[in-house]
Structure 1
Amino acid sequence: MKPEIVVMNFTHVYEQERFLSNSHFRWIDCTDLNGTDCYCDAEAADALRRRMKPYSPHGLHFIDSGNYHYVSKFWTDKIIEPFSMVVFDHHPDMQPSLFDEMLSCGSWVKTMLDTNKFLRKVLIVGAADRLIRAVPDEYRDRVKFYGESSLEHAEAWRKFSAEHVDEPVYISVDKDVLNTDSAVTNWDQGSLSLVSLESLLSIILRNENAIGIDVCGECTPSLDLFDEQRSISIDGKANHELLSLYCRLASAR
């Protein structure tokens, strides 16, 4: 059975990425929603949940730019068994929200740890070391970091996984974990190459019980048409590679 591919379209960027021109993909149009950019207000959250209701957390979900990474929370709210979360992100996304009770792209991991009764542990891969040091001590027993400075050998991940992963996993990828040759995002980026990301994802998908995966980190519109087309081309290539990897490994399971 082919895995379900869901595309959440907030900014129209996916309409320009050729790899998504497949009639079998499921599109969720979010372009008409207000209150979604970086912060998600209550009305927008209700609307997103309604539009996502027909779809399962299983499969691959493309969720637009990193401004909408909080959508990962809505996908994982559908999981009703103990699980761990593997997050590839240059930022831990564990800041307190600036607005009470409002979910944001910088606070969603913290919110999940505070509210999701099925979430056992969060493994954050590729975060900047300075941001890792800023995470409050109260979360240290449930948040484990595979930091940017440790991204060297596959064997290191296998050891890390064996020590920390006991449940099914949901994987979330923000392409800002990648270097600027591999992706173009609207946030500061890490040093991981696309080849290294694919290698680590392959290890996880082959060795863990993966529930599903989402991908964000698209570029934002630019006043320079040439730069915008270049960014879309680079991101489209990265997405195509991640899509092909996931479909190949998911079909082999």
Structure 2
Amino acid sequence: MNHQSQAVFSRNSRPVVVMNFTGVYNYESFARNCQFVWLDCQHLNGTECYCDEEGASALQRMIADYSPQGIHFIDSGNYHYVTKFWTDKLATPFALLVFDHHPDMQPPLFEHILSCGSWVKDVLDTNANCKKVIIAGASDRLLQEVPKEYGDRIHFYSESSLDQEAGWKAFASEHVSEPVYISIDKDVLDPSSAITNWDQGSLTLSELEQLLAVVFRQERVIGIDICGECSSTLNLFEEMRETEIDNRANGELLRFFRSFEKR
């Protein structure tokens, strides 16, 4: 559904929030901006891959003063569940558009424990304002494992459909009527565009931006987050190469989003 191609954060620009869990952003030049809000998450317990009650409370307190309407960098895909905390702050109905090579709809291994593999399911189960989730770029094989009971609340724009740019308009006209919060895991990209600690998809950065441009022209975007940083290795030279690739991807995505803020 067309929403006059206006992003909420473009009218009242919010600071870029950088949530530094692993320390990786210390080595990415795109983040060296005095106007960015840095949230030091390295000292938090109960947050890596799985988020327990203590970790959840600490993260909710940490982001309490910041708006979900803006751009948020949330470190490795191990912390993709942080999207749930940002979208919990949205006070009106929205659709969640997730670019991810994995659906993140697994049943949790431990009751009451949020995880990077189950957080989309948690959003659907607990957030009444989230009217639907669209997962774009997930492996067609993994999509077959998603529980069927979520019916018309979850829709898939699969990896095999992503090169059909014109298809988004038809898809959105049928499935998207609310403002959109966008969450991007860079594992949707191929390894030449980003390096992550999960298996990756086949999109180039340019192809992702082409599809995002269609979304921005078609929908009302109310917030964005980006994860998919690569965890450290014991190989210093390889780590430097991976960090530079991710730094370039983050900088390009940030420039892309800010170009829409100015329209």
TM range (shorter): over 0.9
In structure 1, which of residues 95, 98, 102 is the aligned counterpart of residue 109 of structure 2? 98
Preserved CA contact (<8 Å) 1:2 1:251: no
**Whole-angstrom distance in 1 between the partners of 2:19 and 2:205:** 22
Deviations 1:16-72 (A, max 9, x none): 000111100001110100111000010110000001001000110000000000000
Give the structure 1 partner of residue 262 of structure 2.
Answer: 251
Give the structure 1 partner of residue 26 of structure 2.
Answer: 15
In structure 2, which of residues 41, 57, 60 is the aligned counterpart of residue 30 of structure 1? 41
Tell me the TM-score normalised to structure 1 length: 0.98
**Whole-angstrom distance in 2 between the partners of 1:45 and 1:248:** 33
Aligned runs of 1:72-87 on 2, under 5 Å?
A: 72-87=83-98
**Whole-angstrom distance in 1 between the partners of 2:227 and 2:92:** 24
Aligned AA (1:206): R
Alignment length, in residue pairs? Answer: 252
Q: Alpha-carbon deviation of 1:140?
A: 2.8
Q: In the alignment, does 2:135 pair up with 1:128?
A: no
Q: Alpha-carbon deviation of 1:207?
A: 1.8
Aligned AA (2:101): H
In structure 2, which of residues 208, 212, 226 is the aligned counterpart of residue 201 of structure 1? 212
SS at match of 2:262: helix
- Bigger RCO of structures 1 and 2 (CA < 8 A, at least 6 apart): 2
Q: Alpha-carbon deviation of 1:235?
A: 0.3
Aligned AA (2:79): Y
Deviations 1:131-164 (A, max 9, x none): 1011111013111000011111210111111111
Preserved CA contact (<8 Å) 2:13 2:70: no
**Whole-angstrom distance in 2 between the partners of 1:140 and 1:178:** 27
Q: Which runs of 5+ in 2 are unaligned?
A: 1-11
**Whole-angstrom distance in 1 between the partners of 2:164 and 2:189:** 16
Preserved CA contact (<8 Å) 2:14 2:67: no
State the 4+ residue runs in structure 1 displaced beyond 3 angstroms: none
Q: Indicate the larger mover: 203-212 or 229-238.
A: 203-212
Give the structure 1 partner of residue 191 of structure 2.
Answer: 180
SS at match of 1:237: helix
**Whole-angstrom distance in 1 between the partners of 2:217 and 2:26:** 31
In structure 2, which of residues 118, 125, 129 is the aligned counterpart of residue 114 of structure 1? 125
Preserved CA contact (<8 Å) 1:2 1:247: no
Give the structure 1 partner of residue 8 of structure 2.
Answer: none
Q: Which runs of 5+ in 1 are unaligned?
A: none
Preserved CA contact (<8 Å) 1:60 1:213: yes
**Whole-angstrom distance in 2 between the partners of 1:2 and 1:204:** 19
Q: In the alignment, does 2:59 pair up with 1:48?
A: yes
**Cα RMSD over matched residues?**
0.8
SS at match of 1:114: helix
Give the structure 2 partner of residue 191 of structure 1.
Answer: 202
SS at match of 1:173: strand
